[in-house]
Chains A and B, each alone.
Chain A
Amino acid sequence: MTWSYLPHTAEDRAEMLAAIGVKDTMELYADVPDSIRLHRPLALGEPLSEREVAAYFKKLAAANANLQEYACFLGAGAYDHFIPSTVGHVLSRSEFYTAYTQYQPEISQGYLQALWEYQSMICEITGMPVSNASMYDGSTAMAEAALLSCHATRRNEIVVARSVHPNYRTVLGTYAKDFGFVVKEVGFTDGVTTLEALSQVVSKNTGAVIIQNPNFFGNLEDLSALIAKTHEVGALFTAVSDPIALGILEAPGKQGADIVVGEGQPLGLAISFGGPYLGFMAATAKLMRKLPGRIIGETVDKNGKRGFVLTLQAREQHIRRDKATSNICSNEALCALAATVYLSTVGKEGYAEVASQCLQKAHYAQQALAGHGIETVFKAPFFQEFVVKLSGNIAEINQELLKEGIIGGLDLGCYYPELAGNMLLCVTENRTKAQIDALVVGLGAKA
């Protein structure tokens, strides 16, 4: 049996073993006690050829309903936006995707520059002075922001709005629990976090306040007011932003946020059943040396030529070990590269245009549904997602829609018991008027 990924011929192996001075490769495993060895083959079946493995996955792929064939109105943290062809082509350059972290800057200038450009673009859209080079996903970026805030303020309470993505709050709870940090939630009124509600929960023990905008229901929160209240009690404010919405929404940095995090998947990443995604994280200059993850800095070589290096590494685990700001090592560099190419491709005008089209199409859908008697639950201004009240069972309605080639919205009752019977709909710029009209007809029939 031979494998194309293993280059040695029998002759190669024999020559190498002879050079080492052993007869058999297994002699090299002399240190492995016989008592713990696996004395049987791994039960993984016979190897498949390239054609066979492709055929196997083709079959599995065909067993899924994909978003090329179905019009998707499901959002809730993963979004079907248009991805320009430039993104895939740049990502396919194997000088990028087969590289490791840029420990040798002289032969990694391409990636280092691209990641520095990424940091610059994240700073630009969030209005912050510093960004790291990526986190695992939006939820872990948010959890790390909460830990950072508590450590920086030496306080142990994290206040998070219930209008933040439920899965993000679960991740936050998982991260915070082992530190003994207390997570307190703020309820919503008419789909948004009110100043009064926040005021009742924050105190001088609050280290972090976390608000998502647009929030999980798609509604716009009054960030400026919430930030002012947060700072009044001496806590740090984390905004969880949708990077597409920032094309038309004020940069949280301009409104006074201390940390801005979010899910970068909408910036040119395949929806890919939930990953790999991209956590972005930007902060004030004051927090720069407390940030987790890689940061790329500009410098010069010994001839004075501009170059880029991994910098401020004294924060990181490979130097500081248990005193590091985080344990993160591998991040999502290739996803950050995708976001950089996406933002460069849509460019200054296109970035605002994509956001504007999401806004317009979502509102067109909401109005059309209202015309069919389907009520929007919250009156707050929204971006590309909104909540509608339906009379039937949501799961059954979605099964009916599927027959029409439509993936319907999220059954909110699964996450918020009080919102049972409500559906969270998402309309991105990638939905056509015809698809929206079909959704309206499909849901209208149920109204």
Chain B
Amino acid sequence: MILERQPLIFELGKPGRKAVDLPKLDVPEVSNLIPEKYARTNKAALPELSQLELIRHYTQLSNRNFGVDTGFYPLGSCTMKYNPKINEDISRYEGLSLLHPLQDSATVQGALEILYKCEQALAEISGMKAVTMQPAAGAHGELTGLKLIRAYHRDRNDLARTKVIVPDSAHGTNPASAAVCGMQAVEIKSEADGSIDLEALKAVVGPDTAALMLTNPSTLGLFENKIEAIAKIVHDAGGLLYYDGANSNAIMGIVRPGDMGFDVVHLNLHKTFSTPHGGGGPGSGPVGVKEALVKFLPNPRVQFCDGLYSWVTSDKSIGKMQAFHGNFGIIVRAYAYILSMGGEGLRKSSEDAVLNANYCKKMLEEAYDSPFDRFCMHECVLTSKKQKQYGIHTLDIAKRLLDYGYHPPTIYFPMIVEEAIMIEPTESESKETLDGFIDAMKKIAVEAATDTELVHSAPHNTIVSRLDETLAARNPVVKWAAQ
């Protein structure tokens, strides 16, 4: 049962209650260890509630949230596949979860083996020479990769290369990562189908080109079939190719970024390799590189020598991208997934992901506008163009889907497609689930024509209705204040 209203945790409990019994201090207590001028003057006003009150509060909150385990979650570009339970269990083994990152390497041989072998597996899958596991997320991987590319050019004394070419269909993180790396993003217009306009690319490459960042399959879910020509243009101009791995769930075991001509790749373990998204993290964004960039990878890296794993550093390294060795707990889950699937299973996963997306596309292209007359990869892009005549927009369709019990697809992205609806079913979903979703989408298309207001005012069955986002931004209330 979901309660109509759930108080804030600060509105629950009473002074004097507590949710855990801590052990008594077992050493003699000494006073005045902290000089008065450094000591806290007022205790932090944290909640005071019983353990049951606390558990009920968070259970109620969890009931107000939708995850992959709750229902179908076809959020395009996010690869909301099933998160296997055994991987959760494994990540909690004491021998893996209770390790200090600075322990002597002789005492963490098992952990180093996981890092080392997971790196090797990802190198094989992506067609790269070596991989760093440090980046904590996809965008963090992009930043790492661009820093590696800068280090590469700098090392060759090729200092003018500060421009990063990104197609206008790219994820927002691409240009943002270029900027955070102190480089200039140069946006080029895509062809109507989201592919690279070779003439536009030729016009911008030059001695200032550091890299081209590309997602392939593109953010429109289409494979860039001119990739070899693109790679040649960029390489001939002295630039490198960066692969945004957000969409690699389409291609495992079929085609590898390294073989397409990419020099640097990030992979999202929380997308392609089944680790849970956690409601927006923790993710993990390992970065793979070709031979020429290995020496620039963040310090330290794991090496295997004479039967022992140990840490090794490089003088040419870009430094460090986080304090320790990356999101180890996530890496453990991903490696467990890779071992469970094997090479054949990963390939089958990609094939099924592509099959499911094409099935959705085919079954929905009568009710909705389908702008691209090609097979898609792991996701398909539709639009609400046919519903526009009734005053119904993509947002309305997404909100109406909530009433049918589905998480909506990604909407209004990619930006180059007007009123985009981007559906990524993933390989985890059965035909029955897809048919149920397709059915709901078709019903909404009918409702849009016959009962416009029902769609326009959706959702109707959720715990809150559409929220006032303008109010939230104009008058930000971002924390609790005691009355």
Contact = CB atoms under 8 A, between A and B. Distances in A.
B202 interface: no
Interface in B133-190: 136-140, 142-143, 147, 150, 171-173, 175-185
Contacts of A139: 320, 322-323
B345 A20 contact: no
B363 interface: yes
Contacts of A318: 171-173, 413
B340 interface: yes
A275 B322 contact: yes
Q: How large is the interface on A (under 10, 10 to 19, 20 to 34, 35 or more residues)?
A: 35 or more
B259 A38 contact: yes
A348 interface: yes
B65 A321 contact: no
Interface in B25-46: 25-30, 33-35, 37-41, 43-46
A152 interface: no
A120 B113 contact: no
Contacts of B33: 359-360, 363, 381
Contact of A349 (B26, B48, B173): B48
B323 A274 contact: yes
B339 A297 contact: no
A376 B139 CA distance: 43
A271 B98 contact: yes
Interface stretch (A92-100, A199-207, A229-237): A92-100
Contact of B342 (A17, A46, A294, A361): A46
A168 B320 CA distance: 9
Nearest to A125: B44
A254 B45 CA distance: 15
Q: How large is the interface on B (under 10, 10 to 19, 20 to 34, 35 or more residues)?
A: 35 or more
A170 B318 CA distance: 9
Nearest to A250: B40
Contacts of B82: 5
Contacts of B138: 329-330
B62 A64 contact: no
Interface string A416-435: 00000000000001001100
Contact of B363 (A19, A78, A117, A174): A19
A6 B469 CA distance: 39
B466 A106 contact: yes
A107 interface: yes
Interface in A258-279: 263, 270-277
B232 to A, nearest CB: 12
Contacts of A86: 19-20, 51, 54-55
Interface string A296-333: 11111111011111011110111111111011111111
A247 B48 CA distance: 15
A65 B112 CA distance: 12
Interface in A1-43: 1, 3, 5-8, 12-13, 15-17, 19-22, 25-33, 35-38, 41-43
B99 interface: yes
Interface string B456-472: 00010011111111011
A330 B252 contact: no
B95 A16 contact: no
A426 B176 CA distance: 39
Contacts of B468: 299-302
A344 B323 contact: no
A16 B179 contact: no
B277 A89 contact: no
Interface string A97-122: 11111111111111101101101110
A443 interface: no
B339 A47 contact: yes
9 contacts: A15-B431, A28-B355, A74-B100, A78-B101, A224-B37, A273-B324, A273-B329, A332-B136, A352-B44
